[in-house]
C-alpha cells in the first residue's frame, strides 16, 4: 500500500456562542472572528483506501495548509501508511529547523491522524484498537465555555451547561468577577476550571492565583506568558497550592517531559492536532502514566482531531474528562450526536479507522480554498 494523493480542504464554518452579540468581535480572545477555521486533509492510497486528518487551524488555516502542501506532501507520496510512526519520525527530523512547535508540527499532526485512520481501515479495526485500547467506557465531557468577558453572561452559560447535565465547567476568563459569578451559578458541587490562555507575568499570576483560591478551582490553566516558562509555572503551583494545567502550547513528548520534570503541572493537556498527532500523544500517555500525572487533553474542535482524542481516551485509565467546546457550529462534519450527547458522556463512533468519514456536503459548502 502506498500513499498516492493528499487533498487539503480549508473550511470556514460559522458558529454561535449562544449569548451576547455575534458581531464578530470577541473582547480580545484569540479567536477574533465567529467562524471556525479548519484544515482537513484526505490521504488516498493506491489500493483505494482513504484516511482523514486535521491540523490545528484556528487563525492559521492558510499557513498550515500551505505548510502541508509544500513542505510535507512531497515527502510522503509513495510511502506506506502502515509505517506511520517512521513517517512521523522522518518528518520531524527533516523539518526540525522550521520549528518544533507551531505550524510545522500542526501539519505533521494532520498527516499522522490521517495515516492512523488508514491503518485502522486497512486492518478493519478502530483506531483505538490498533493503538492499544484498554477499556470501552464512555468518557464524561466538560463544558468549555467561550470567553465572554461579562459576569452575567458567564452566570447564564454556567447555568445552561448545568441544565444540560455537565458537572464540570471550564471558563476562559481573566478577571475575578467572572470567576465569582461562575461559582455563584454553580454552587459547590460542580467543578469549575479556569483557562486564562497565558495572560500574566509570574508575579501577576501569583497575585491572581491567591485571589482565585477561594473559588475552589479544579485547575488553573496556562496562567503565564511565555507558556514554556516551566520554572515559573512550577513556582506558582508550589507557592499557591492551586492545581495547574498546561500543555496545549507544548509540542512533542519532549516538552511534556521537561514540564513534568520541573513539577510544573498537575494536568497535562496535549492537543492531538498540535502535538504531533496520535503517535506523539501515545508517548505522552505513557509518560503521564509513569510519572503519575493526570491527562486532560485539549480538544475544543469538531474535526477528525476530536474523534482521534476520543479513541486515545480509550487507551489509558489516566484520563477522566474530555473537553467539549460549548459553542454551536452552523454545520458539523460528523453527526451532531458525537459532539452533543444528551448524557454528556462521549464515545468514539463505532466503525473502522476513526469510525466515520467527514460529510462531503459540509466540506463542499464551507470550503474556501
Ligand atoms: Mg486551554
Helix-helix angle 103-123:277-291, to 10 degrees: 90
**What's the CA-to-centroid distance between 28 and ligand 1, angstroms?**
15
Mean pLDDT of 50-54: 98
Mean pLDDT over all residues of the chain?
94
**What's the CA-to-centroid distance between 126 and ligand 1, angstroms?**
28
As to burial, measured by CB atoms within 10 angstroms (0-12 exposed, 13-18 middle, 19+ buried), residue 110 is: buried
**What's the CA-to-centroid distance between 300 and ligand 1, angstroms?**
9
Q: What is the pLDDT of residue 33?
A: 52
pLDDT in tens, 13-34: 999 888 755 444 444 444 445 8
**What's the CA-to-centroid distance between 222 and ligand 1, angstroms?**
7
**What's the CA-to-centroid distance between 83 and ligand 1, angstroms?**
32
**What's the CA-to-centroid distance between 337 and ligand 1, angstroms?**
24
Residue (of 253, 198, 186) closest to 227 by Cα position? 198
Mean pLDDT of 117-133: 98
**What's the CA-to-centroid distance between 359 and ligand 1, angstroms?**
28
Residue 197: pLDDT over 90: yes
**What's the CA-to-centroid distance between 125 and ligand 1, angstroms?**
32
The three-state secondary structure class of 229 is: coil
Q: What is the pLDDT of residue 342?
A: 83
pLDDT in tens, 67-84: 999 999 999 999 999 999
Residue (of 26, 207, 100) closest to 224 by Cα position? 207
pLDDT in tens, 245-300: 999 999 899 999 999 999 999 999 999 999 999 999 999 999 999 999 999 999 99
Mean pLDDT of 348-356: 97
Q: What is the pLDDT of residue 137?
A: 85
pLDDT in tens, 291-340: 999 999 999 999 999 999 999 999 998 998 999 999 999 999 999 999 98
**What's the CA-to-centroid distance between 127 and ligand 1, angstroms?**
25
Residue 206: pLDDT over 90: yes
Any idea which of 129-138, 197-206, 226-235 has the lowest mean pLDDT? Answer: 129-138
Q: What is the pLDDT of residue 28?
A: 43
User: Cβ(147)–Cβ(328) under 8 Å?
Assistant: no
E strands within 160-248? 168-171, 191-195, 219-221, 244-246
What structural domains and CATH numbers belong to the chain? 3-124 (3.30.390.10), 130-358 (3.20.20.120)
**What's the CA-to-centroid distance between 221 and ligand 1, angstroms?**
6
Amino acid at each position: 500500500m502506498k500513499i498516492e494523493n493528499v487533498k487539503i480542504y480549508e473550511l470556514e464554518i460559522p458558529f454561535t456562542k449562544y449569548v451576547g452579540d455575534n458581531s464578530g468581535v470577541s473582547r480580545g480572545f484569540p479567536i477574533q472572528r465567529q467562524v471556525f477555521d479548519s484544515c482537513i486533509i484526505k490521504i488516498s492510497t493506491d489500493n483505494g483506501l482513504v484516511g482523514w486528518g486535521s491540523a490545528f487551524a484556528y487563525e492559521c488555516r492558510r499557513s498550515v495548509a500551505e505548510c502541508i502542501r509544500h513542505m510535507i506532501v512531497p515527502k510522503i507520496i509513495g510511502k506506506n501508511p502502515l509505517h506511520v510512526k517512521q513517517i512521523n519520525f522522518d518528518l520531524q527530523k527533516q523539518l526540525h529547523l522550521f520549528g518544533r512547535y507551531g505550524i510545522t508540527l500542526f501539519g505533521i499532526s494532520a498527516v499522522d491522524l490521517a495515516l492512523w485512520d488508514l491503518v485502522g481501515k486497512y486492518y478493519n479495526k478502530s483506531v483505538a484498537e490498533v493503538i492499544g485500547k484498554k477499556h470501552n467506557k464512555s468518557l464524561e465531557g466538560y463544558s468549555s465555555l467561550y470567553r465572554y468577558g461579562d459576569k452575567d453572561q458567564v452566570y447564564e452559560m454556567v447555568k445552561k451547561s448545568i441544565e444540560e447535565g455537565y458537572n464540570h465547567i471550564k471558563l476562559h476568563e481573566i478577571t475575578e468577577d467572572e470567576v465569582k459569578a461562575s461559582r455563584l451559578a454553580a454552587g459547590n458541587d460542580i467543578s469549575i476550571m479556569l483557562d486564562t490562555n497565558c495572560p500574566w507575568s509570574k508575579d501577576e499570576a501569583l497575585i491572581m492565583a491567591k485571589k482565585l483560591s477561594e473559588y475552589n478551582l479544579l485547575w488553573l490553566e496556562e496562567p503565564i506568558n511565555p507558556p514554556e516558562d516551566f520554572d515559573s509555572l512550577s513556582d506558582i503551583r508550589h507557592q499557591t497550592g492551586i492545581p495547574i494545567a498546561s500543555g496545549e502550547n507544548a509540542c512533542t513528548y519532549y516538552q511534556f517531559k521537561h514540564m513534568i520534570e520541573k513539577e510544573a503541572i498537575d494536568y497535562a493537556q496535549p492537543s492531538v492536532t498540535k502535538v504531533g498527532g496520535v503517535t506523539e500523544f501515545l508517548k505522552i500517555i505513557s509518560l503521564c502514566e509513569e510519572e503519575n500525572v493526570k491527562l486532560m487533553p485539549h480538544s475544543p474542535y469538531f474535526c477528525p482531531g476530536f474523534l482521534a482524542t476520543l479513541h486515545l481516551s480509550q487507551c489509558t485509565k489516566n484520563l477522566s474528562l474530555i473537553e467539549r467546546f460549548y459553542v454551536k457550529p452552523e454545520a458539523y462534519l460528523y453527526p451532531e450526536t458525537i459532539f452533543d450527547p444528551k448524557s454528556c458522556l462521549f464515545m468514539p463512533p463505532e466503525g473502522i479507522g476513526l469510525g466515520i468519514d467527514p460529510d462531503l456536503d459540509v466540506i463542499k459548502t464551507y470550503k474556501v480554498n
